[in-house]
Every structure is written in structure tokens, then in C-alpha cells.
Amino acid sequence: MRVSVVAALVVTLCCPTIAAQAQNEPYDVNVILPLTGVGSFIGQTQAAAFKVVEKRINASGGINGRPLRFVEADNQSDPQVDVQLTGALIAKHVPVIIDGGPATDCNAAAPLYAHGPLMYCLSPAFYPEKDSYAFAGGVTSRDGLRAIVNYLRGKGWTRIGILTLTDVAGQEADQALRDLLALPANRAFDVVGWEHYAPRDLSVTTQLTKIRAGNPQALIGWATGTPVGTIFHGLIDAGWDIPFMGSNANQQAGSLIQLASVLPREYYMFSLPWAAYSRMKGGAPKAATGAYLDALHDGGLQPDGGNAMVWDSMMIVTSALRKIGTQATADQLKGYISGLHNFDGAAGSFNFTSGNQRGLGPENCIVVRWDRATDAWIPVSGPDGSTLRS
């Protein structure tokens, strides 16, 4: 009897200590990023953004009092490595994994998430299945191209050239452009040259020569990372200065500053609405965007496409965890996010009830121009590439 009393007393005295330790223990969210390899320019920017987000969330109470901690792993920009890392984390029964992409990596790993955990891929070229455990950041590449085509039509630049990669993202862009240009509203377009090149090609001189022969008013060049630099160098070598429309996968301020000497004078791409902050009316959407911009400024980062998706995805996941609790399961997280609407972030207002697994649509997409003088993005269109109103 005396032993039982002592044991009960020990439990009574220890339990508060154990509870306090559990409360102070970090809540880990696993993140797979392309920290090395061809996608490292994206992964390194994302990693810096995760640090800013971690600091901001913890300053506002963490996850119900527990500090948030991101645990990063490098997929080396290799889909096979991404699959291996994902499989190892699933074996640990984690409820959520953030994958920084690119889309080829997310596509390779997606089948592993058939029964959970929750996957949040930060790529506009990743298209998760409806009602699946997979979600995606940003607007789709297809919506981005739609905004670009609308902007070109509004400018009267309807004689265009197209140069895309032969990779998955390039093939997706080709199909999206074919579909868009087949629409009745786009009958005025005349594609004077449509060429392709491989990611490891060192020159696109032949392709640019063919396109230039048609005297286009603008060039759509769909490539990410090092391959887009191949186009820029080709334009410089040819002495050809033409409005250039690119993928927002390259919306990385640091890399563009480094490429300043070879960038086209008029360099456009689609963007999430944060770039138009100065034109936003007051209210909750502008306040949410302002919080994102303030956090980046405090962290010494410039806003760009990658860290905007990091910010929004983690504000959404954090909202779910704070609502459900740190014991949240993949099913609970999926249910919460699937029903989320009117959630304001850097990309605008999210509405996941539409069922597209990213909560965003064409209305969350604008066209911007990179200003080399100020190293900043200048909004040149309204939502969906519409003509900008003064």
C-alpha cells in the first residue's frame, strides 16, 4: 500500500514536468527542397523564406504555444531522391510534408501520398488530383500563360514567337498555349515561329534565327533556371532586343540581379498579386499582403514568387494546426484545407471549396515587368492579364 502511495505521488509530481516539456517541444514540419542541383536557385530562396516564416509564426505563439520548427531535406533536384526522402518520412507517419518542387519532383512523389500524409507542393506546374491529399501553391502555369496571352492581346502584340523546353514543363506550356490560341478571343494571334530546345543545349541560335525571320512583336520563352539564361545569351549574341514573356518560376530577385547584364530590356512574367501591393485598396487582403512584405523586409529578403508560395502555404497549414491541434492527422488537415475559403494571403483570397486543390484561379494572377533600375517588379496588368486601369 505504501509503495502504491509513493508511486502515485511520483506520478503526480512528474506529470506537470512532462506536460511542460511536451508543451515546449518544437512541432516539426518536414520540408523537402532542391537545395543543390539545377533547382538550387529556387530551393535556396525557399529555405531562406522558411526561416522568415518560422520566426514570424513563433513570434505570434507558434502552434498553440509550441514553437514551430522546419526540418529540411535536400532532394538534390532529383525526382528519385525526392521519392526516397518522401518514403522515409511517410514511414515515420508524419501528417504533412512540404515539397518545394519543381513539378517533376512532386509528380514523381505524388503516388506515395495516395493515403496520406498531406502533401503541399510549391510549384505552379504541379496539378494535384481533386479530393486527393496533395495541394499546390500559387496559380497554375496554365492560368499564368492565360494572363500573358490576355496581356499581349491587350497591348496589340499579336504577332508572336514561342520558344519552349522539351521537358515536362515545356510540354505543358506547349499544350496550354495551343489551347489558349485556339480560343475565339485569340484569333488575332499569328505565331510566326514555334521552336524547342533541350535543357542541356548550350545554344539556341538556330531557333532564334528562325523565329526572328517572322518579325514577331514579342517572344514567349518558357524555361526555368539555367536554360532560360541560354535564351538570354542567345538574344544578346544576336543583338535582338524584343519584349520577352517568361515563366514565373524565374521570379527570383537574387538570380535576376545576377543576370542583369543579359536580361531583356522588357522582361515580363505572370505573378501573384503581392507585386501590386501599392495599387491595392485597403482592407483584409492588403493587410495580409502587407504582413508578408513586412516579414520579408525584417528578414532581409526581397519578395518573389518562391517565398510568396512558402508564406501562403505555411500560413494555411499553420491555421489548420492551430485550429485542430498538434495531434492533427492527415485526414483532419485535408478536411480543414479543403473547406477553407476567404483566406487572405500574399496571393490574394484563397478558396479551396472550388476543388482545384490550390485555392487560386486566374483572378489571382497578374503580369509584371522586371525593372532593372530598381530591382523590383512593376505590375503592368490587372487580374487575369487585364488592361491596367489608372
- In this prediction, residue 22 carries a pLDDT of 56
Is 70 exceeded by the pLDDT of residue 18? no
* CATH number for the domain running over 142-276+366-385: 3.40.50.2300
Mean predicted lDDT score pLDDT of the chain: 91
| Options 3.40.50.2300, 3.40.50.11540, 3.40.50.720, 3.40.50.1980; CATH of 26-139+284-361 | 3.40.50.2300
pLDDT one-digit tens code per residue, 166-179: 988 899 899 999 99
Residue 19 has phi, psi (to 5 degrees) of: -65, -40
pLDDT at 14: 53
Cell matching residue 36: 543543390
Domain ranges of the chain: 26-139+284-361, 142-276+366-385
Mean pLDDT of 132-146: 94
Give the 3-state secondary structure of the chain.
CHHHHHHHHHHHHHHHHHHHHHHHCCEEEEEEECCCCCCHHHHHHHHHHHHHHHHHHHHCCCECCECEEEEEEECCCCHHHHHHHHHHHHHCCCCEEEECCCHHHHHHHHHHHECECEEEECCCCCCCCCCCCEEECCCCHHHHHHHHHHHHHHHCCCEEEEEEECCHHHHHHHHHHHHHHCCHHHCCCEEEEEEEECCCCCCCHHHHHHHHCCCCCEEEEECCCHHHHHHHHHHHHHCCCCCEEECHHHCCHHHHHHCCCCCCCCEEEEECHHHHHHHCCCCHHHHHHHHHHHHHHHCCCCCCHHHHHHHHHHHHHHHHHHHHCCCCCHHHHHHHHHCCEEEEECCEEEEHHHCCCCCCCHHHCEEEEEECCCCEEEECECHHHCECCC
pLDDT in tens, 59-92: 999 999 999 999 999 999 999 999 999 999 999 9
Instruction: List the Cα angle 326/308/152 in 5-degree steps.
Output: 145
In this prediction, residue 42 has a pLDDT band, given cuts at 50, 70 and 90, of confident
**Does 373 score more than 90 pLDDT?**
no
pTM, to two decimals: 0.87
> Which tens digits make up the pLDDT trace of 220-263?
999 887 889 999 999 999 999 999 999 988 888 778 888 888 99
Domains 26-139+284-361 and 142-276+366-385 share a fold: yes
pLDDT in the model for residue 66: 97
For residue 3, the one-letter residue type is: V
pLDDT of amino acid 390: 62
pLDDT of residue 16: 53
- CB-count exposure of residue 14 (10 Å: 0-12, 13-18, 19+): exposed
Highest mean pLDDT among 14-18, 79-83, 303-307: 79-83
Given a cut of 80, is residue 17 above it in pLDDT? no
